[in-house]
Amino acid sequence: MAAAAVALAAATGGWLAVGADDRLVRWTNVLAAALAAVLLAAGLALRRPTVVLLAVLVLGAGYATALAIDGGPLDGRAPVVAAALFAVAELGHWSLELRDTVADEAGAHLRRIGLLSALALGSLAVGSGLLAVVDAGGGVRFEALGAVAAVAALAIVVVATRRRPR
């Protein structure tokens, strides 16, 4: 799971870099991808769960740079980025949980993979739906709805990635 988290972090930042029009945005996302991958790999090797959050924040900062410089009124990549950041955080924390000495019951890994996939696809669907609504209607009310949805999505990620006591 650790390798999957690191690979997804690097791929997300690389995808943002490839899609950038501005040279500064491109290099910012290349550096963000490299830094996030190194942070994540080191943090997971050292069993530091807070580094997972730092890696996601670094990738988010690279995306924020792209939005600030290249961004128009709406960015169609937002739902994909949100789903990818969610998956990076979940895979990173899951890899830390797998190091515990308590073994999971048979089939637990497959159920969790299914749940993570469903949650990532669900966030992609909700984000795409919100983009479609905002694009169709526009206006300040929909912008406020988008801001509330972004805060709610962040809250869901924080709650979902919080390590649960056993």
Q: Where is average pLDDT lowest: 100-104, 118-122, 138-142? A: 138-142
Whether 26 maps to a domain, the answer reads: yes
The burial class, CB within 10 Å (0-12 / 13-18 / 19+), for 105 is exposed
Q: pLDDT of 121-138, one tens digit each?
A: 888 888 888 777 766 666
What is the Cα–Cα distance from 150 to 55, expressed in whole angstroms? 19
Q: How many domains does the chain divide into?
A: 1
pTM of the model: 0.75
Is residue 101 pLDDT above 70, yes or no?
no
What is the Cα–Cα distance from 79 to 89, expressed in whole angstroms? 16
Is residue 158 pLDDT above 90, yes or no?
no
Q: Residue 20's domain spans which residues? A: 2-161
Q: pLDDT of 35-82, one tens digit each?
A: 999 999 999 999 998 999 999 999 999 998 888 887 777 788 888 999
Whether 166 maps to a domain, the answer reads: no
Whether 20 maps to a domain, the answer reads: yes
pLDDT at 118: 86
